[in-house]
Chains A and B, each alone.
Chain A
């Protein structure tokens, strides 16, 4: 795969659509992009806080993945091209994402798209929510993949993210700069920041209410008892939810869960280093579609045949 744009005049096979989705009694117009065969295994992809589905563009463009999977990346309501609901006076209150609304949004989108046994995958807020999905909807998914997932992820619900005297766009992005490993292509890491700078004021902070406040499974991981395999995959450079946190989640969930450490990558694996992440996730996706594979507890670039930069000085 490559992060380069297509040749002049060449069209990518990704298509975009809008679908009506009713979430907790409110009608929404949800945007999603998809690639892959209609009868492929649905792979539903959730973006990170304050961002949108474009973070998944390199997964959508990977033909080795879309050969088997119907990859679907949506924008959660209020994000990207999924505008706020026209029936609500959303501008009169701070946008706040709760664990209930978040989980119901994901299941409602899967229902609206009539997805049968979908695989769910998400990162950051999208990684944490596998615990609520496994807890509240134990039979809805074929597999749950939580990237950058923890039982609790405090410290990011900050008032500076909607302060009138702070550059919200720039701060929302670059407060996340160090969540990425320096090994990814700079163009990919800068693009991740570029996507972050597109969120509306208060969106990032509102999602972080879920991330750092409402999400707390420290004393109730035993409630998470899904009927499907659970993969908890955290990046070495993710300072908020590190590989030890992934192992704690997997241990707490029990025999259906496995923790996988991803080295040389951080909190936005799919967009900060698409080549390395796609190689990492293919091992897991191979197992989900029934291939006889052994998934290492610690994925390294060497194990998946991807080269990463090395220091040139001592």
Chain B
């Protein structure tokens, strides 16, 4: 998977399989993780539709007909750091990375977007879903 470009169709296919076979997602989201969130890598946005704790579909470049609960945006470099097997400090996890953006005002990190209440209501499965980008990338 390390040879596959982050954000490519093949990459997202591998990601979907990784999430949908992850034992911890079953424990943390059970079958109640029903929401959607976007991942924005540079200018490319992907909408991840979760249903029953699994990735149902991944929609590239969602348009005005779509709606979403929350998401994460960041530069490709920040995401490439995030998915490293041993990610560097402060891009190692979403709350960490967002803190350096939102509280410290630093560049080069990820940023949470959207409905904060929904984020905290779904934090654990959402965080696991993002951490699984690292698992998929290094499988």
Contact = CB atoms under 8 A, between A and B. Distances in A.
Interface of A: 154-155, 158, 160, 163, 165-167, 170-171, 174-179, 181-183, 236-237, 239-240, 242, 309-314
A240 B96 CA distance: 8
Contact of B117 (A163, A242, A309): A163
B124 A170 contact: yes
B64 interface: no
Interface in B58-98: 84-87, 89-90, 92-97
Nearest to A240: B99
A165 B121 contact: yes
A236 B89 contact: yes
Contacts of A155: 99, 102-103
23 contacts: A160-B117, A163-B120, A165-B117, A167-B121, A167-B124, A170-B123, A171-B120, A171-B124, A174-B123, A174-B124, A181-B92, A182-B86, A183-B86, A236-B89, A237-B89, A239-B99, A240-B99, A242-B90, A310-B86, A311-B84, A311-B85, A311-B86, A314-B2
B26 interface: no
Given A167-B121, A167-B124, A174-B123, A313 B85 contact: yes
A179 B87 CA distance: 13
B2 A313 contact: yes
Interface string B95-121: 111011011000000000000110011
A311 B138 CA distance: 10
B87 to A, nearest CB: 7
Q: Identify which of A158, A160, A176, A236 gathers the most chain B CB atoms within 10 Å of its CB.
A: A160
Chain A interface helix/strand/loop/mixed: loop
B102 to A, nearest CB: 7
Contact of B123 (A171, A183, A236, A239): A171
A154 B121 CA distance: 22
A68 to B, nearest CB: 33
Contacts of A160: 116-117, 120
B127 interface: yes
A161 to B, nearest CB: 9
Contacts of B121: 165-167
Contacts of B123: 167, 170-171, 174-175
B92 A154 contact: no
Contacts of A177: 93, 95, 127
Contacts of B127: 174, 177
Given A160-B120, A175-B95, A239-B99, 14 more contacts: A160-B116, A166-B120, A166-B121, A167-B123, A171-B123, A171-B124, A175-B123, A178-B94, A178-B96, A179-B96, A182-B87, A236-B89, A237-B96, A242-B90
